[in-house]
Structure 1
Amino acid sequence: MPHSHYITKNTNTLIAYWDTDLVCRFANNAYITWFGRTPDELIGKVTLRELLGAGFTVSLPYITGALAGKVQMFERSLVMYTGVVRLMQAAYFPDIKDGIVQGFYVYEADLKAASTDVEQPNLISRRTPIDDVESVLKENLFNKFPGISTLAKRCFISESKLKRDFKERHHKSVKNYYRHLQMQLGETYLAENRFSKKQLANLFNFSNPNNFSLCYRKYLEEKSSYPLAKKNIDAA
């Protein structure tokens, strides 16, 4: 399947390819991160019914249409693995060879217009470069840290302003925030017994398991000390 003709690796758009048995054959970084899976867990193993759960019934008419060789364009709510709900602009493009449908490509863009319980009007117009930086980091949790220079160029912000504004929002550096996201996901995987620390070190591109263990220990220490720190601040 000529995925390279359809897929831009570094994009916020969720992109995947499903065959006629509804088994995932390709998913980009954004798609994998959205559903809280790893490439090994998703590709070639998970069906669309399993991935979407209760949402499969809503998508079924569009899936059927795509497998019938017709392009499908629609909006729908999609649940992220964290429980957050977003309104998505979705498109299913059938992959047809010699008149036979082989599967279909999925493209889904977050319209940023809805969440589970909070209305957020005009969210798109208020999106900032720091929002874009956060999105890029979340897309690349299973890759190497993109680097400040790359992030600044991609998100149209100077390196100095990126570092300053990011620290003002998150009270930590861009790299530390990126590691924090990885450790949050790693904590979930460990709790579910899906991976060992050694496997997570490889998954998150650490040079060796010891470095991952040190980073994870620091994350747990910061997490456990946060309630105490907040209590002291509130009491001040």
Structure 2
Amino acid sequence: MTDLFKKLKGTETIPLIAIADALPCMIGYWDRDLRCKFANRAYLEWFGRSPDDLLGESIQDLLGKRLFDLNKPYISGALTGVKQQFERTLTKANGNIGYTLANYIPDINTEGAITGFYVLVSEVTPVIETKIAHNQTPGIFLNTANDSIIATADKADDPGINSLSHRILFASENSKWLLDTDKRYLFDPNGRVLHLTSTETDILTLLIYHCGELVTRANIISALGFDYAISAITRLNTQMSRLRQKLYKFDECLFIQTWRNRGYAYIGPQIISTRPIHSSVKR
């Protein structure tokens, strides 16, 4: 069925393939040349590929340049014999956003040579969305820029966070983004600049203050000084749509999660604001 399991044909271990296909997590195998030698059904469905399309394909072609560059340190680590684990925000074939916990496990043969690595990716989207919906994640959010779950010091000992991420990493200075609220510039860690409008800056400042939490549309409208009415809701929806598209085009990752008919939550890279943030938003 695949190069990886050809040797299993005709043996009693062949049901292992059926077991792999039945599991909800993504299971795959990549050789030293970074070519796919095995992918279970969940892997194929996530990326919208058939077995014939994916088997033999390079991991660079599958992931695309940006995502491959983000994953490259973990790939290199696995190919040196060190197990890797990291979080990632991925876009599914259907366009939906998914949050994942990935493991790269070296394949070491009997002679001690590393012939490739196994991939095990578990989707944790329901856990993340449930926590956000119930405001259970203040001070924590997914950092797609450096692949870690970031927590403020007061949340580092939270057992719920530890059980979700298996590790808490604090962002190093060079992984942080900077929001200059006076000039309305957003700087990424590489020095690129995105210009924001005054309203976009105010919205982003408010949401990053409540990172990981649902902020209702009514509270955002109130904080912006709009009179609450149908026209204000329409105005806010338009502003949020433009802001989300602008941020996505800038870095191709999800900064703001929309909760239909409810509000929004900031779940993007860690941003440091030049403005001391004080908010009267009620939670």
TM value normalised by structure 2: 0.39
Greater C-alpha Rg: 2
TM value normalised by structure 1: 0.46
Structure having the larger proportion of residues in strand: 2
Structure having the larger proportion of residues in helix: 1
